[in-house]
Structure 1
Amino acid sequence: MAEPMSATPSTGRHRAWFTTAEVCEWLGISRETLRQLRLRGVLQPGKHFRRWGCTQGKGPLQWHLENVEATITGWSRRHLRQ
């Protein structure tokens, strides 16, 4: 799988926040899994996700890819042991 675009073309600065589709593709998880982790409090606002746009708190979510990946990896190791 290719790495998600992490640099903006005009500035060369690296992106930290990605769309739901990008995060799901990169991590190989479904939108529903991401949603459930958010609803269960595993992923927390400000650290793992934020809303964007002028939609009074109902806009689409952006995800901090590094924080989400680190948290899901740690959570999986603790909760999905075989």
Structure 2
Amino acid sequence: MDSTATPARQRVWMSTPEACAALGMSRETLRKLRLRGVLVPGKHYRRWGCTQGRGPLQWHLENVEATITGWSRRHLRP
């Protein structure tokens, strides 16, 4: 491995497949949390590329983890 490469965990924005792997959740779960308004644009995800708002999403892993942890504690209690 190249010593100058940044480990995926330390990058700020990640692709959807990278975020799913790091978080241990499916693409569909991320989509549902986004559509419910749990994950918001600019803070948790952003579109990238010059595709007029239809580019692939990138995810801010730290913000997503913090929000999901807090949200699940409030909404997924037995």
Which is richer in helix? 2
Alignment RMSD (CA, Å): 1.1
**Whole-angstrom distance in 1 between the partners of 2:66 and 2:19:** 13
Unaligned runs of 5+ in 2: 1-6
Count of matched residue pairs: 72
Q: RCO (CA 8 Å, sep 6+): is it higher in 1 or 2?
A: 2
Write out the 4+ residue segments of structure 1 that deviate beyond 4 Å after TM superposition: none
Instruction: Give the structure-1-normalised TM-score.
Output: 0.83
Unaligned runs of 5+ in 1: 7-13
Instruction: Give the structure-2-normalised TM-score.
Output: 0.87
**Whole-angstrom distance in 1 between the partners of 2:34 and 2:14:** 15
**Whole-angstrom distance in 2 between the partners of 1:30 and 1:80:** 17
